[in-house]
Amino acid sequence: MFSEFTQSALTILRNPQATMQWYVVPLFLIVLYIVTKELHEKHYKVVLGGLALWGMDLFNEIWNSMICFLSGYAPVWGTPAGVGDTSLLILIGYNIEISMMFLVMGISACLMLPEDRKAKILGINNRIFFALVLTTAAVAVECFLNYCGILTWEWPFWQRSCPWLLWLIGYLPFFATAFYVHDRPTTKGAVKAVGGILGFDVVLLVICAACGWL
């Protein structure tokens, strides 16, 4: 039987008539401005790195949805109705605000990178340094959101008391992949990498939709 939080989320899942708010329109335009500005300045691989991080997050959101429906209990993380209300709940733990946030976060992370991929910060390669620091910061924010009650964690292996799995699975691969794509020798190579990530996401979405796991 689905948990109380999960049942709450299911009532608003992909139900914009019940949740849509005006603020999402200017929020979308802000994201659009950020993307178009970076493209205008020919920071193509910065945008592609951001899309890579966004695609990695989408993959996590898909398997999170699969766990919810296959277990019949709860997702690993959820965004229920009634607290931290969203304009649109896309997947069981993935709302429109989270989606736009991850794209901007990916772009911002890539903009932080020094041009010299081998430069060191505090004796650590700058790519590794930023991946570790940004992962730790992101996990801290998620723990705070969970503390506030707007991001629910109902499985014993995914809790604030033991955030290592969240650190290893939830964010480190995101930043590592974004930096990998950003550092491809050519824009064409970066496009192929992003295409592979997003293409895999699309295949998973189609399969999960057919199986009723979304």
- For residue 101, give every residue at least 6 positions away whose Cβ sits within 8 Å of its Cβ, in sequence order, or none: none
> Do 50 and 107 form a contact (C-beta atoms < 8 A)?
yes
Q: What is the mean pLDDT of residues 179-200?
A: 98
pLDDT tens digits for 120-166? Answer: 999 999 999 999 999 999 999 999 999 999 999 999 999 999 899 99
* Predicted local confidence at residue 85, as pLDDT: 87
pLDDT tens digits for 4-35? Answer: 999 999 999 999 999 999 999 999 999 999 99
Q: Quote the strand ranges of the chain, DSSP E.
A: 89-91, 94-95, 120-121, 124-125
* Predicted local confidence at residue 170, as pLDDT: 87
**Ranges 36-50, 80-94, 184-198: which has the least confidence:** 80-94
Q: Using CA of residue 52, residue 62, residue 90, residue 208, what is the dihedral sign? A: positive
Q: How confident is the model at residue 84 (pLDDT cuts 50, 70, 90)?
A: confident
**Coil, helix or strand for 10?**
helix
Q: How far is CA 190 from CA 14, 70, 130, 141, 180, in A?
A: 32, 34, 20, 29, 9
**Coil, helix or strand for 4?**
helix
* Predicted local confidence at residue 199, as pLDDT: 98
Continuous segment of H or E residues that includes residue 131: helix 126-148
* Predicted local confidence at residue 120, as pLDDT: 96
Rounded to an integer, what is the distance from CA 161 to the centroid of its chain? Answer: 22
Phi-psi region of 103 (alpha: psi -120 to 50; beta: other; left: phi over 0): alpha
pLDDT at 82 over 90: no
> Do 84 and 148 form a contact (C-beta atoms < 8 A)?
yes
| Burial (0-12, 13-18, 19+ Cβ within 10 Å), 29 | exposed
Q: How far apart are CA 140 and CA 127, in angstroms?
A: 20
User: C-alpha angle 72/199/44, rounded to 5°?
Assistant: 125
Q: What is the mean pLDDT of residues 47-73?
A: 98
> Do 158 and 152 form a contact (C-beta atoms < 8 A)?
no
Q: How confident is the model at residue 196 (pLDDT cuts 50, 70, 90)?
A: very high
Q: How far apart are CA 22 and CA 154, in angstroms?
A: 31
Q: Using CA of residue 95, residue 43, residue 129, residue 51, what is the dihedral sign? A: positive
95: which strand partners? Answer: 89
